[in-house]
Amino acid sequence: MQEKYFHCKRNEKQAKLLREARVEEDVEIIKDASIIALTTTGASKYHHLLQRTQPRIVVVEEAAEVLEAHIVTSLTKNCQHLVLIGDHQQLRPNPTVYELAKRYHLDISFCERLIKNNFPKHRLNLQHRMRPEISHLLKIHEEFYPDLQDHDSVKAYDHVRGVEKDVFFLNHNFAETAEQDDRSRSNKFEAEFLTGLCRYLLQQEYRPDQITILTAYTGQLWCFRNLMPKSVFGSVKVCPVDRYQGEENDIILLSLVRSNDKGNIGFLKIANRVCVALSRAKIGLYCVGTLPYFQNKTMCGKRLPTIYR
């Protein structure tokens, strides 16, 4: 038994020496690099390397989505300049434990905290994505982008083929359905309507990869997938809003899902999520939902145009 103990201790010592040698090797590799790129998780895992290389400038992309703790672990005592690039109007960080996030405001990023405390900032106001009719939806809400300007290139977009309007909101009163776990929702009418619209747009010779269907609920996601055979819809992406931040497409079909007697709009009462949903489309945005609920429950919704069915 004693022999095994000494054998284990010897192995531990050798393993420690090997780890130290590998650290020295890594330091030699990266110490002369002008730029070191890694994720915030990697910055935490390899913090000992950052301490050895002593970076003076730290740039964080999508900083408004990064947990505050992850920013802290990315810094060393040698940091002289921290650059945070992000949009605090879009989705916040997503802590693992919801209750702790709400109690201690863990879903507020360091970037958002600085901005809300009037720390000096610079906002980019010239957008190159959305046609003016779409960007207008974000300008009319003072909490989003009231000073947003459109680049000349977006004013030259072609109109959506085969459809009278490039942007419309369709109101209905067909009730939602609760899924078996009662945590997700679906709306068969919205799924069937947008599936039909998607099929029609494909017939107008749009490619499947030019169309994305967005929804706030995974229950609605599966409803779409059951209605959309690959043989007809090909690579048309159906995606939850929360997983589409940072992406864009020519045409976005948006399903709001919620329609109930209580007027509960669930996830979409969060303005950040609405901002993401409305800002993904380039040339066409088509939204279906029970719009009076959203107009009554959200500041953004009160200003949405409505075309009743």
pTM: 0.83
pLDDT value, residue 309: 41
Distances (CA, A) of 251 to 20, 32, 282: 53, 45, 6
> What is the rounded CA–CA span in Å between residue 232 and residue 197?
13
**Can you name the residues that pair with 177 across neighbouring β-strands?**
186
- Contact status, residue 305 vs residue 274, Cβ threshold 8 Å: no
Structure tokens at 224: 């779409």
Strands 126-127 and 149-150: parallel
* Terminal alpha carbon distance of the chain: 81
- Contact status, residue 123 vs residue 244, Cβ threshold 8 Å: no
DSSP state of 47: H
Q: CB burial class (10 A; 0-12, 13-18, 19+) of residue 164?
A: exposed
Residue environment code for 125-163, b if the CB has 16+ CB neighbours within 10 A, otherwise e: eebebbbbbbbebbbebeebbeebebeeebeebeebeeb
Which residues have a Cβ under 8 Å from the Cβ of 281 and sit 6 or more positions away? 130, 134, 248, 249, 250, 251, 252
Fold match between domain 33-116 and domain 126-308: yes
* Residue ranges of domains in the chain: 33-116, 126-308
DSSP result, 220-266: HHHHHHHH--HHHHTT-EEEEGGG-TT--EEEEEEE-----TT---G
Q: Which CATH number fits domain 33-116: 3.30.300.30, 3.20.20.70, 3.40.50.300, 2.60.40.3500?
A: 3.40.50.300
Architecture of domain 126-308: 3-Layer(aba) Sandwich (3.40)
Q: CB burial class (10 A; 0-12, 13-18, 19+) of residue 192?
A: middle
Residue pLDDT tens, the chain, 309 long: 656 555 666 667 777 777 767 777 777 888 888 899 999 888 888 888 888 888 999 999 999 999 999 998 889 899 999 999 999 988 888 888 888 888 999 999 999 999 999 999 999 999 999 999 999 988 887 778 889 999 999 999 999 999 999 999 998 888 778 866 657 888 999 999 999 999 999 999 999 999 999 998 889 999 999 999 999 999 999 999 989 988 999 999 999 988 777 767 777 778 888 889 999 999 999 999 887 766 655 545 555 554 334
> What is the rounded CA–CA span in Å between residue 28 and residue 32?
8
- Contact status, residue 267 vs residue 302, Cβ threshold 8 Å: no
